[in-house]
Amino acid sequence: MTDADKSSSPRHGVARAISKSGWGSRTQAVQWIREGRVRVNGRVVRDAEFPVRQDLDRVTVDGQIQAPAHTVVMLNKPRGLVTTTKDEQGRDTVYRCFQGSGLPWLAPVGRLDKASEGLLLFSNHPAWAASITAPETGPEKRYHVQISCLADASLLEALEQGVEFRAKSARCLRSGGKNSWLEIVLDEGRNRQIRRLLAAFDVSVLRLVRIAIGSLVLGELPKGGWRALTEEEINALTAKRLA
């Protein structure tokens, strides 16, 4: 029986295996493979779909086998940037904020849409990122939302009851003139969830800022600014929510 027969792990294309290990995106891995920088068991491979088993095959990039240290960064996302590595329409992306930083490859942990602002996480560890975004294991997300009307108790109750989905909690922070600021807490962060939730009650969002993820608070981080999380902060985010 060969080592391959003994392995219970699935085969993946080498580009995907590199991405899953936290080295870089799959697009970056494909480029490294084309450049001859990737070896499998000591042999240069130039096929991104070359099958490997991560528990048996030795995959190196530029001769290095160990995965980079787990890095998590928090960004105060400015309004007007899209959360993607590359935009087909040529719009500015959140990666503009990291230019010249010397950071390793990092992928967004969840999303904020173009018109939204605030706390956005990035990580080079796909499994950790998945645990943060999963409703069952991820921390709650807190938002400050300016809406196009004056909030009353019936609206707040309706937001917590929901239609397609609901807020974990909703409260009015302040009101004035013709609009109000709400604090809305979500158990999960589906695509445009708050905007869709409010639209169900004919309420428009004027401004949306994510201010916290679990125990991690945006604080005084300047717009477009970022910082690396400490090990304690990373561990606190990973802790499973109590029911």
* CA 65 – CA 62 distance, rounded (Å): 9
- Annotated catalytic residue 5: no
Three-class SS string for the chain? CCHHHHCCCCCEEHHHHHHHCCCCCHHHHHHHHHCCCEEECCEECCCCCCEECCCCCCEEECCECCCCCCCEEEEEECCCCECCCCCCCCCCEHHHHHCCCCCCCCEEECCCCCCCEEEEEEECCHHHHHHHHCCCCCCCEEEEEEECCCCCHHHHHHHHHCCCCCCCEEEEEEEECCEEEEEEEECCCCCCHHHHHHHCCCCCEEEEEEEEECCEECCCCCCCCEEECCHHHHHHHHCCCCC
Annotated catalytic residue within 113, 152, 187, 202: 113
Q: Are 38 and 14 in contact (CB under 8 A)?
A: yes
Residues identified as active-site:
113
